[in-house]
Amino acid sequence: MHTYSEHLKINKNSWDAASERFFGRTALPDYGPYAPSENQLQLFGEIAGKRALEIGCGSGHSIQYMLNNGAAEVWGLDLSSKQIEAAKRVTGSNSQVRLFESPMEENPGLPDNYFDVAYSIYAIGWTLDLSQTLANIHRYLKKGGTFIFSWEHPIHSRVIFDNGSAQFNECYYEEIPALHKAWKPQPAIFHHRKLSTYINELVSSGFMVEKVIEEVEWPAAARGNETTWYSDLKANYFPATMIIKSKKL
């Protein structure tokens, strides 16, 4: 059984290897596969003048979205050094941006009660310690601050299609870390959690859940057949993406 530190190292190496493949993918205003966009949902409201923090900032395209919409400051952290390098290229030399190479479970020096909004686009589910990560985010936010995140819907990885029939291939209730079956090119540790776990951990960390979104938005072009991880066929039966908006009490 690997330790926490070993799991972090596995995931850092994996994301460094996958960085180029995810350059610019799944970034605001998009929340994820088959999900309505921020242009439709307007979850953030007015961004201009706000201090924002991105958890798992990836290649920096969501940070650039925030800047384009008038954010006063945008800070980002990511486990992968390759992703941080990409984010620096995307956002350029900008005094409004601060980037940290760090696991989300650890505080690399971010201030308490500083940010108006925190967000995470398809990254929060990679945390190895959800409770600690949410406690950190709660501490970074001002009172009344908003936390919005999207992630793969917990039901999605539990179901496969075999000859057109949907079947559970893993137990939905089992919440243990394991290698992600679809992850390439190197293994990464993925900790499956129930939807209720995300909601209950938010509440326990001092957040009030304001909205949970599971609606499906169909892309202009088909994503693929039943053999792909995200597909039109799967989206006919269950959502690929969940989005949760909450507020620090």
Question: Residue 38 maps to which CATH number?
Answer: 3.40.50.150
The tens place of each residue's pLDDT in the chain, 249 residues long, gives 578 899 999 999 999 998 888 887 899 999 999 999 999 999 999 999 999 999 999 999 999 999 999 999 999 999 999 999 999 999 998 999 999 999 999 999 999 999 999 999 999 999 999 999 999 999 999 999 999 999 999 999 898 887 777 888 889 999 988 888 778 788 899 889 999 999 999 999 999 999 999 999 988 776 666 667 888 888 888 999 999 999 999
Global pTM reads 0.95
Instruction: Return all residues near 27 (Cβ < 8 A) that are at least 6 apart.
Output: 58, 59, 61, 62, 65, 121
Give the structural domain span for 115: 4-152+192-221+240-248
Number of domains, the chain: 1
- Is residue 91 assigned to a domain? yes
Q: Are the C-beta atoms of residues 242 and 150 closer than 8 Å to each other?
A: yes
